Amino acid sequence: MTKFTRFSLAMMLTLTTCVALAAPPAKQTPSSEQDIKAALSGGVPGDRWKEGLLFEGVKPMPWLKSAANWFPGTEEIQPEEMRVTFMGTSPSIRPGQMNTSIFVELGNGDKFVFDMGEGAVSNYVAARVALNQINHVFITHLHVDHFGSLPYLWMFGTWAGGWHEQLTVHGPSGRTPEYGTQAMVDGMKKMLGWHIDAFSVFPVGKGWDIKVNEFDFRDNGGVVYEENGVKVTHWQRSHAKDGASGYRLDWNDMCFVWTGDGRPSELDIKYAKGCDLYVTEMQAELMEISSGVQGVPPFLGRYTVDTHHTPAYAAGYLANQIKPRMFMTTHMAFDPYQNEESVAEVREHWKGPFHFGAPDGIVVNMTKDLVWVREGILPDFPNNRSPQFDFSNGQLVVPLPPTTREEIQEPFVREQQIDPKKYYPEGYHPVLLEDWPVKSDLVVPLDTMPPSLTNGMGEEWRLKQKNLEKLGKE
Ligand SMILES: [Zn+2]
Ligand SMILES: [Zn+2]
């Protein structure tokens, strides 16, 4: 035993002794009812006046572990709940603000991604979302800050267990076919040719069968998706070029809107009217200051906003027309020098509940009665969550990889690999897994799997069963 551990042990023993010897607190005479009331509710509005966020229905739910912060993996989504997390919040990518992406989770187990900007994957990982849980991505338009993470999500999501359900990309058509979502995905497939073939030495299953649901961008109010009581509709946004859309998701008598990018328009009011959670992009009117800070010529900022975006005054105007239970803005710089100004501009028109959907990790919990917004605490060095599987059939099925190294690599370079005996220490002889160990799909009954795997990979499936059961009972 080293000197140090002996010392710590002695300390611990002393501490334990102290705790054991401490007397229970003595009982004292209670204060008067009046004093207790004055101390516990003094300065608290009650029904007497309104302060800051005391709008009706804006309140933390009892099942939240903390009203101030959200810690990923510590709260189960409730059967009736919608949870919305901002995974990317800015058109200018930087640590703390990845490109735009919004994650919507429903109490029935469904999950949807709205836009998938560059870098956003890191926040999904930090929020303990396994990449194979993402099966539906709705792209508002084809500016790269709204879909840049798609290649990574597709390739590594397949590697990480995306074998049984294909990835579906929903998005608008363009005015001509080459500008539509299908054309973008076709181009992405081409760009990923090497990667797809390379990763085909792994299990793939349905992973490579990416599906595109391209809708006519002019079909305002059209339904993009309708399943399990979830309906997603779309409308046109004015974003300098045809083929930009806003989305509205309706489920369980609740509604979420993400406008994507665009100029304020009468269509926004028409299709988002009365929605519970209305999220729009926003740019503050600070061209001179922000050009001073960022070094961008003011006319470039002005021209970009006036042709493409929603000024903060307009955001407030729209909110006041739409009258959501919670209004949020994202796709914006979250900077001390402009946050107060942004709020002031929004407040010119909208006096109701308002919160920034920025920086990354802001999370919204919503039920029919309550809505609450918190800052999520996303770790810098998270580990991946284990892939999540539907274990209804009592099995884990691992598809046979479509190809082998021999098929995609000439022998020469493999033969140049250093003999492992030269670098492994003496007496250490790992059995290298150089060939896929089985010749067909691997089917593993759950009861033959180590509990650590069954538990980790079945978490979401079990939660979904539990919630569906509760929903069915009500
Ligand atoms: Zn954008
Ligand atoms: Zn855009």
pLDDT in tens, 411-427: 999 999 999 999 999 99
Q: At CB < 8 A and 24+ separation, what contacts does 177-185 make?
A: 179/142, 179/241, 179/242, 179/243, 180/214, 180/243, 181/139, 181/142, 181/212, 181/214, 182/212, 182/214, 184/139, 184/142, 184/147, 185/210, 185/212
The pLDDT value given to residue 461:
96
The pLDDT value given to residue 5:
46
Write the secondary structure of the chain as one string of H (helix), E (strand) and C (coil).
CCHHHHHHHHHHHHHHHHHHHCCCCCCCCCCCHHHHHHHHHCCCCCCCCCCCCCCCCECCCCCCCCCCEECCCCCCCCCCCEEEEEEECCCCCECCECCCEEEEEECCCCEEEECCCCCHHHHHHHCCCCHHHCCEEECCCCCHHHCCCHHHHHHHHHHCCCCCCCCEEEEECCCCHHHCHHHHHHHHHHHCHHHHHHHHHCCCCCCCCCEEEEECCCCCCCEEEEECCEEEEEEECECCCCCCEEEEEEECCEEEEECCCCECCHHHHHHHCCCCEEEEECECCCHHHHHHHHCCCHHHHHHHHHHHCCEHHHHHHHHHHHCCCEEEEECCCCCHHHHHHHHHHHHCCCCCCEEECCCCCEEEEECCCCEEEEEECCCCCCCCCCCCCCCCCCEEEECCCCCCHHHHCCHHHHHCCCCHHHCCCCCCCCCCCCCCCCCCCEEEEHHHCCHHHHHHHCHHHHHHHHHHHHHHHC
The pLDDT value given to residue 54:
85
Q: Which ligand places an atom closest to the C-alpha of 331?
A: 1
Separation of CA 261 and ligand 2 centre (Å) = 5
The pLDDT of 147-157, averaged and rounded, is: 98
Which residues are found with C-beta within 5 Å of the ion, ligand 1? Answer: 91, 143, 145, 261
Q: Which ligand places an atom closest to the C-alpha of 99?
A: 1
The pLDDT value given to residue 4:
46
Residue 294 pLDDT > 90: no
The CA distance from 408 to 405, in Å, is 5
Amino acid found at 205: G
**What are the pLDDT digits (tens) for 424-473?**
999 998 999 999 999 999 999 999 999 999 999 999 999 999 999 998 87
The pLDDT of 223-243, averaged and rounded, is: 98
Q: Which ligand places an atom closest to the C-alpha of 146?
A: 1
Band of pLDDT at residue 19, cut at 50, 70 and 90? low
Separation of CA 242 and ligand 2 centre (Å) = 11
Separation of CA 175 and ligand 2 centre (Å) = 16
| Contacts of 61 by beta carbon, 8 Å cutoff, 6+ apart | 78, 81, 365, 367, 370, 372
Which residues are found with C-beta within 5 Å of the ion, ligand 2? Answer: 143, 261
The pLDDT of 40-46, averaged and rounded, is: 88
Separation of CA 239 and ligand 2 centre (Å) = 7
Q: At what angle do helices 336-347 and 287-294 cross, to 10 degrees?
A: 160
Residue 227 pLDDT > 80: yes
The pLDDT of 252-270, averaged and rounded, is: 98
The pLDDT value given to residue 371:
98
Q: Which ligand places an atom closest to the C-alpha of 143?
A: 2
Band of pLDDT at residue 20, cut at 50, 70 and 90? low
Separation of CA 91 and ligand 1 centre (Å) = 5
Q: Which ligand places an atom closest to the C-alpha of 92?
A: 1
The pLDDT of 95-112, averaged and rounded, is: 97
Separation of CA 271 and ligand 1 centre (Å) = 20
Residue with tokens 């946050």: 339
The pLDDT of 248-265, averaged and rounded, is: 98
* % of the chain beyond a pLDDT of 70: 96
Please confirm whether the linkage preceding 359 is cis (ω < 30° from 0).
yes
The pLDDT of 309-318, averaged and rounded, is: 98
Separation of CA 142 and ligand 1 centre (Å) = 9
Residue 12 pLDDT > 90: no
The pLDDT of 246-266, averaged and rounded, is: 98
Separation of CA 93 and ligand 2 centre (Å) = 14
